[in-house]
Amino acid sequence: MDPDNPDIVALMPASLTGGQQLPINANRLDPLVLGPQLLQEGAKAAGTVLSAAPQALNNPALEGKGFSKWQLMLEVRPENGSPAYQAELVISLTSSEKA
């Protein structure tokens, strides 16, 4: 937790980030954790959320602060012309406004 900003919570120890830092105002670790793999193996795509179902967070303290977890069903349309497909994604949100 950042003592100057109690709304910021560390989700991963610095020893696992390889010295990389998130951009200012970033609220997710996806660019840091998934970025290198996506850059090597991924392709650009557009997506549409087909459904969103709330999931148990299993942490009453975080739920009380508005955190939530969702299972999404997405329709993914790759920009490279590959056929569209459906994919599941579980995400965590840090406020009820984001949900």
What's the rounded Cα separation, in Å, for the pair 62 and 64? Answer: 5
Tell me the percentage of the chain whose pLDDT exceeds 90: 18
For 34, the token pair is: 């998934």
**In terms of pLDDT, which residue wins out, 33 or 3?**
33
pLDDT digits (tens, 9 = 90+) for 13-39: 556 556 656 556 555 555 556 566 666
Helix (H/G/I), strand (E/B), else coil: 95: coil
Write b or e for each residue in 5-31: b if 16 or more Cβ atoms lie within 10 A of its Cβ, otherwise e. Answer: eeeeeeeeeeeeeeeeeeeeeeeeeee
pTM score, two decimals?
A: 0.54
Q: What is the pLDDT of residue 74?
A: 92
The pLDDT tens digits for 76-93 are 998 888 899 999 988 888
Mean of per-residue pLDDT scores for the chain: 74
